[in-house]
C-alpha cells in the first residue's frame, strides 16, 4: 500500500473529550470480580494453547498413586487394599498441593513478559492479573483431583462416603490448593527468576506434605514430631478428606481445614498483592 | 485556558546510583504530537513509565489532564494508552483473543467487544492473521496489534515508546500514517524515538533528552535554527587535520564546529555564507587539505550533535568514534 495513491482510511470516530468523561479513582468490587474473571479466561485459553503444561497434573497423580500404594501398602497397612483408604486421601492432598506450587513459577514467567506492563497501565483492579491466574489454575487442581480419585477406584478403593462424600472431598482439596497457591503466588511475585521460585517452593512443600499424616499414622512418629504434624494444616486437610470420603460426614476437621485455608489467604493474598503492586 | 495533556516538573527516577531521569520538565498541549528524542539509555522509557503510572517518581510531580500520576493513578489509567518498546501483547493468545481480552478489561462485553475487535483488526489490516498464533507474527504486525490494543478505550492520550524501532521503511510509513490519523480524531500523542526524521515528520514539538535531562525543547524549526540557518560540510583529506580545522573555524567564524562520525568530516554552522571563503583561505594557509565541501540546511541530526556532543543513534555503527573525537577537540 503506497501512501500516495491509496486514500487514507476514514478517520476513526472522534474520541470523547476528557471533560465529558466520568472518571473514578477507585475500582468497584464488581469491576474487580469481572476483571479477575476476564483474566481467568485468559489463563484458560493459555492452558488450552499449551497443553504440555498439563503433563504434571496428569502424570503425577497416576505415577505417585501407583508407586506409593504398592511400595508402602504392605509395610504400613499390611496389605494394599487396607492401605488404600489411608493413602488415597493422603496422596490426593499431596499431589494437588504440589500442583499448586507450579502456579508461582508460571506467574513469575508470565510477569516477565511485556503484557504485564500493559495490565498495569489499564484501569483495572490491581489484584485481577494475580487473582485471574490463580483462578484459572483451579482447572489444574480439578484434573489432578479427578485423576487421583479415578486411579484409586481402579486400584480397588471403595470409599464408604459414596459419590457425595468423594465429590465433597475433592472440592475441599481444590479449595485448599487454591488457598495455598497464594503462598506460591507471593513467592512468584517477590522472586527474581522462575527457577528460584521452584527451589523455594520445594523447600516449603516437602516438610508441609511429608511431615503430616498423609502417608502414615501420626502415632508411629516421635512425640516431638507429632507436635508439628498435629498443627500442620495439611494433616487437618488429610483427616477432613478421609472423613468425607470414608463416612461422608462433614466433621469439625473440615471446618478446621477451611479455617486454616482462610487464614493462609488472609495473610498471603495481601502480601502477594502488595509486593505485586510495588513491582508495578 | 486548557489543561495540558501532560504537565511534568522536575521528574526524577534513580536506579541504584544511576539517575536515569534527572529533573525532566514537560508540557504537552492537547491534540498535539510531542516527540521525545534521545539515544538509547537517555531516560525516554523511564520517563514514559512514570507518566503512565508504571513507575513511581523518586522526585518531582506529573499530571495527566490535571490528574496527578501518584495521587490519582486510577483516573490517569482511564485517560491513557501505552504501547511499549516491545510489543506488549500476550504471545500465547491469537490477535482476536488478545483484543477480546483487552476489550473485556476495558468494560466492553459480548457483542460490543466482538464488534470493536472486528473493527480494530480491520483497521490495522490484521483480519487475515486474526486467528494465527502471535509467534508467527512479523514485527510490524505485532506493533499494529499492540497499538490496536491501546486504542480500545479510545484514550485521549497515547504513549508510544519507540513505535517504529526495528520496522522496515514501508511499515514505518504505515505507522506514521496511523499516528497522524489518531491525532486527527483528537488524541494527544507522546512518542519517543531515536530517529530524527521521525520526530521531524510527526512531532509538533520536540524535547531532546540526554542523560536523563531535557537539553533542548521547541518545534523542529526552533531546534534547527538554534544551530544556524545553514551549515558547511567539510571533508578533509587527513583525519589528523581535524583539530587544526576546528581551531580555524573557531578563529574565523567564532563558532565551535562539530566533527562528524566518519572522522574526516566537519560540520560548521554558518550564519553568514560569505565568511565561508575566509575559512577556506585560512584552511589552505594552515596546510589543511580539503577533499570536498557542501552547504547544507541543518538537519535534526546536527542539532543533536551540537546539543549533546554525540550522535543520536548510539547503536548506529558510524556513531561510535564520536566520543573519542570530542575528547580530541576538547
Q: What is the ipTM of this complex?
A: 0.79
pLDDT at residue A5 tops 60 = no
A205-223 pLDDT tens trace? 888 888 999 888 888 889 9
d(CA A96, CA A76): 23
A98-129 pLDDT tens trace? 888 888 888 888 888 878 888 888 999 888 88
Size of interface A-B (CB pairs under 8 A): 117
pLDDT at B297: 67
d(CA B112, CA B100): 10
Angular region, B160: left φ>0, alpha ψ -120 to 50, beta rest: beta
Among positive and negative, which fits the CA dihedral A133, A136, A141, A147? Answer: negative
Taking alpha carbons only, the member of B318, B319, B300 closest to residue B310 is B319
* Three-state DSSP class for residue B232: strand
Give the distance, in angstroms, between the CA of residue B298 and the centroid of all CA atoms in the same chain: 18
Whether A118 and B149 lie within 8 Å, measured CB to CB: yes
Taking alpha carbons only, the member of A110, A91, A59 closest to residue A279 is A110
pLDDT at B89: 86
Q: How many CA atoms lie within 13 A of B287 on its CB side?
A: 1
Chain A residues in contact with B80 (beta carbon < 8 A): 121
B267-291 pLDDT tens trace? 887 777 788 888 888 888 888 888 8
The number of folded domains in chain A is 1
Retrieve residue B221's grid coordinates: 524549526
User: Which of B15, B48, B90 best probes binding to A when mutated, by most A CB atoms within 10 angstroms?
Assistant: B90
Q: If DSSP states are collapsed to H, E and C, what string results for chain A? A: CCCCCCCCCCCCCCCCCHHHCCCCCCCCHHHHHHHHHHHHHHHHHHHHHCHHHHHHHHHHHHHHHHHHHHHHHHHHHCCHHHHHHHHHHHHHHHHHHHHHHHHHHHHHHHHCCCHHHHHHHCCCCCCHHHHHHHHHCHHHHHHHHHHHHHHHHHCCCCCCCHHHHHHHHHHHHHHHHHHHHHHHHHHHHHCCCHHHHHHHHHHHHHHHHHCCCCCCCHHHCCHHHHHHHHHCHHHHHHHHHHHHHHHCCCCHHHHHHHHHHHHHHHHHHHHHHHHHHHHC
Residues A117/B88, Cβ–Cβ less than 8 Å: yes
Q: How confident is the model at residue B300 (pLDDT cuts 50, 70, 90)?
A: low
Give the distance, in angstroms, between the CA of residue B24 and the centroid of all CA atoms in the same chain: 15
Q: How confident is the model at residue B70 (pLDDT cuts 50, 70, 90)?
A: very high
Structural element, H or E, at residue B33? strand B33-37
The percent of residues above 90 in pLDDT, for chain A, comes to 38
DSSP B81: E
Which is more confident, A153 or B259?
Answer: A153
pLDDT at B166: 80
A22-73 pLDDT tens trace? 888 778 888 899 999 999 999 999 888 888 888 888 898 999 899 989 998 8
pLDDT at B263: 65
- Any bridge partners for residue B59, and if so which? B12
Which is more confident, B85 or A201?
Answer: A201
pLDDT at residue B49 tops 80 = yes
Mean pLDDT, range B170-188, rounded to an integer: 87
Q: Which residues contact A151 (CB under 8 A, 6 or more apart)?
A: A61, A62, A65, A66
Question: In this predicted structure, which of B50-54, B86-90, B145-149 has the lowest mean pLDDT?
Answer: B86-90
Give the gap in angstroms from C-alpha A33 to the nearest C-alpha of chain B: 11
pLDDT at B313: 47
d(CA A170, CA A194): 29
Chain A residues in contact with B153 (beta carbon < 8 A): 123
Whether B3 and A49 lie within 8 Å, measured CB to CB: no
Contact with chain B for residue A30, Cβ under 8 A:
no
Contact with chain B for residue A1, Cβ under 8 A:
yes
User: CATH: 3.90.190.10, 2.50.20.10, 3.40.50.10360, 3.40.50.300. Which one for B6-223?
Assistant: 3.40.50.300
Choose the closest CB to A122 out of B84, B105, B184: B105
User: Which of B30, B50, B72, B74 best probes binding to A when mutated, by most A CB atoms within 10 angstroms?
Assistant: B74
Which is more confident, A38 or B239?
Answer: A38
Mean pLDDT, range A264-274, rounded to an integer: 91
Q: How confident is the model at residue A280 (pLDDT cuts 50, 70, 90)?
A: low
Q: At B72, give phi and psi (nearest 5°).
A: -125, 55
Average pLDDT of every residue of chain B? 84
pLDDT at B325: 33
Mean pLDDT, range B288-297, rounded to an integer: 83
pLDDT at residue A19 tops 60 = yes
d(CA B268, CA B258): 6
Whether A41 and B104 lie within 8 Å, measured CB to CB: yes
Q: What is the CATH number of domain B227-329?
A: 3.30.70.100
Taking alpha carbons only, the member of A197, A183, A170, A210 closest to residue A68 is A210
* Three-state DSSP class for residue B320: coil
Taking alpha carbons only, the member of B127, B45, B50, B136 closest to residue B86 is B45
Residues B236/B198, Cβ–Cβ less than 8 Å: no
pLDDT at B298: 64
pLDDT at residue B320 tops 60 = no
d(CA A247, CA B22): 69
pLDDT at residue A3 tops 60 = no
pLDDT at B58: 94
pLDDT at A8: 42
Domain extent listing, chain B: 6-223, 227-329
Whether A121 and B80 lie within 8 Å, measured CB to CB: yes
Q: Which residues contact B13 (CB under 8 A, 6 or more apart)?
A: B19, B20, B21, B43, B46, B47, B50, B55, B57, B58, B212
Give the structural domain span for A246: 30-279
Q: How confident is the model at residue A168 (pLDDT cuts 50, 70, 90)?
A: very high
Residues B295/B232, Cβ–Cβ less than 8 Å: yes
Retrieve residue A78's grid coordinates: 499390611
Among positive and negative, which fits the CA dihedral A248, A251, A255, A260? Answer: negative
d(CA A196, CA B153): 38
d(CA A269, CA A273): 6
Chain B residues in contact with A122 (beta carbon < 8 A): 77, 102, 105-106
Rg (CA), chain B: 23
d(CA B89, CA A116): 9
Max mean pLDDT among B75-79, B194-198, B235-239 falls in: B75-79
Taking alpha carbons only, the member of A258, A263, A224, A225 closest to residue A244 is A258
Mean pLDDT, range B119-136, rounded to an integer: 88
pLDDT at A206: 87
Whether A23 and B91 lie within 8 Å, measured CB to CB: no
pLDDT at residue B316 tops 50 = no
Confidence (pTM)? 0.76
Whether A1 and B174 lie within 8 Å, measured CB to CB: yes
Q: Looking at the domain assignment, is residue A45 inside a domain?
A: yes
Q: How many CA atoms lie within 13 A of A153 on its CB side?
A: 12
Give the gap in angstroms from C-alpha A190 to the nearest C-alpha of chain B: 17
Q: At B247, give phi and psi (nearest 5°).
A: -60, -45
B4-26 pLDDT tens trace? 999 999 999 999 888 999 999 99
B78-101 pLDDT tens trace? 999 998 766 588 888 899 999 999
Amino acid at each position: 500500500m503506497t501512501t500516495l495513491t491509496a486514500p487514507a482510511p476514514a478517520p476513526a470516530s472522534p474520541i470523547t473529550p476528557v471533560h465529558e468523561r466520568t472518571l473514578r479513582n477507585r475500582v468497584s468490587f464488581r469491576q474487580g470480580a469481572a476483571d479477575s474473571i476476564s483474566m481467568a479466561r485468559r489463563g484458560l485459553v493459555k492452558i488450552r494453547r499449551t497443553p504440555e503444561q498439563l503433563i504434571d497434573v496428569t502424570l503425577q497423580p497416576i505415577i505417585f498413586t501407583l508407586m506409593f500404594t504398592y511400595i508402602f501398602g504392605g509395610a504400613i497397612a499390611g496389605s494394599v487394599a487396607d492401605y488404600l483408604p489411608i493413602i488415597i486421601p493422603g496422596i490426593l492432598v499431596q499431589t494437588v498441593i504440589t500442583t499448586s506450587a507450579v502456579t508461582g513459577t508460571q506467574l513469575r514467567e508470565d510477569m516477565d513478559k511485556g503484557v504485564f506492563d500493559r495490565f498495569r497501565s489499564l484501569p483495572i483492579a490491581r489484584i485481577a492479573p494475580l487473582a485471574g491466574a490463580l483462578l484459572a489454575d483451579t482447572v489444574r487442581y480439578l484434573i489432578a483431583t479427578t485423576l487421583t480419585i479415578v486411579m484409586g477406584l481402579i486400584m480397588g478403593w471403595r470409599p464408604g462416603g459414596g459419590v457425595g462424600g468423594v465429590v465433597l472431598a475433592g472440592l475441599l482439596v481444590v479449595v485448599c490448593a487454591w488457598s495455598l497457591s497464594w503462598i506460591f503466588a507471593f513467592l512468584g511475585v517477590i522472586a527474581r527468576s522462575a527457577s528460584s521460585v521452584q527451589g523455594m517452593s520445594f523447600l516449603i512443600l516437602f516438610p508441609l506434605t511429608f511431615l503430616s499424616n498423609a502417608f502414615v499414622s501420626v502415632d508411629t512418629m516421635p512425640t516431638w514430631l507429632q507436635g508439628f504434624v498435629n498443627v500442620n494444616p495439611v494433616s487437618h486437610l488429610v483427616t477432613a478428606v478421609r472423613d468425607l470420603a470414608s463416612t461422608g460426614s462433614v466433621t469439625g476437621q473440615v471446618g478446621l481445614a477451611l479455617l486454616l485455608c482462610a487464614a493462609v489467604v488472609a495473610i498471603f493474598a495481601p502480601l502477594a498483592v502488595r509486593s505485586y503492586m510495588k513491582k508495578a | 485556558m486548557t489543561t495540558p495533556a501532560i504537565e511534568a516538573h522536575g521528574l526524577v527516577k534513580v536506579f541504584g546510583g544511576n539517575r536515569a531521569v534527572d529533573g525532566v520538565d514537560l508540557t504537552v498541549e492537547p491534540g498535539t504530537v510531542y516527540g521525545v528524542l534521545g539515544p538509547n539509555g537517555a531516560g525516554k522509557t523511564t520517563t514514559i513509565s512514570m507518566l503512565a503510572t508504571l513507575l513511581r517518581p523518586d522526585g518531582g510531580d506529573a499530571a495527566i489532564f490535571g490528574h496527578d500520576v501518584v495521587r490519582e493513578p486510577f483516573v490517569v489509567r482511564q485517560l491513557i494508552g501505552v504501547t511499549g518498546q516491545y510489543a506488549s501483547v500476550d504471545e500465547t493468545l491469537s490477535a482476536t483473543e488478545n483484543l477480546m481480552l483487552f476489550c473485556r478489561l476495558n468494560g466492553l462485553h459480548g457483542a460490543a467487544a466482538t464488534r470493536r475487535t472486528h473493527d480494530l483488526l480491520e483497521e490495522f489490516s490484521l483480519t487475515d492473521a486474526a486467528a494465527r498464533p502471535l509467534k508467527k507474527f512479523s514485527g510490524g504486525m505485532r506493533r499494529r496489534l499492540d497499538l490496536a490494543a491501546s486504542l480500545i478505550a479510545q484514550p485521549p492520550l497515547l504513549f508510544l515508546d519507540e513505535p517504529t524501532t526495528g520496522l522496515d521503511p514501508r511499515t514505518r510509513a504505515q505507522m506514521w500514517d496511523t499516528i497522524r490519523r489518531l491525532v486527527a480524531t483528537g488524541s494527544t500523542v507522546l512518542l519517543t524515538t531515536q530517529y530524527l526524521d521521525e520526530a521531524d515528520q510527526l512531532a509538533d514539538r520536540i524535547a531532546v533528552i540526554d542523560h536523563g535531562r531535557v537539553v533542548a525543547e521547541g518545534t523542529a524549526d526552533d531546534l534547527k535554527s538554534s544551530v544556524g540557518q545553514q551549515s558547511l560540510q567539510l571533508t578533509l583529506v587527513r583525519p589528523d587535520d581535524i583539530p587544526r580545522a576546528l581551531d580555524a573555524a573557531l578563529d574565523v567564524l567564532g563558532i565551535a564546529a562539530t566533527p562528524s562520525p566518519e572522522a574526516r568530516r566537519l560540520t560548521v554552522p554558518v550564519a553568514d555564507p560569505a565568511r565561508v571563503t575566509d575559512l577556506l583561505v585560512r584552511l589552505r594557509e594552515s596546510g589543511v587539505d580539503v577533499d570536498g565541501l557542501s552547504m547544507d540546511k541543518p538537519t535534526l541530526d546536527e542539532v543533536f550533535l551540537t546539543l549533546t556532543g554525540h550522535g543520536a543513534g548510539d547503536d548506529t555503527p558510524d556513531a561510535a568514534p564520536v566520543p573519542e573525537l570530542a575528547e580530541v577537540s576538547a
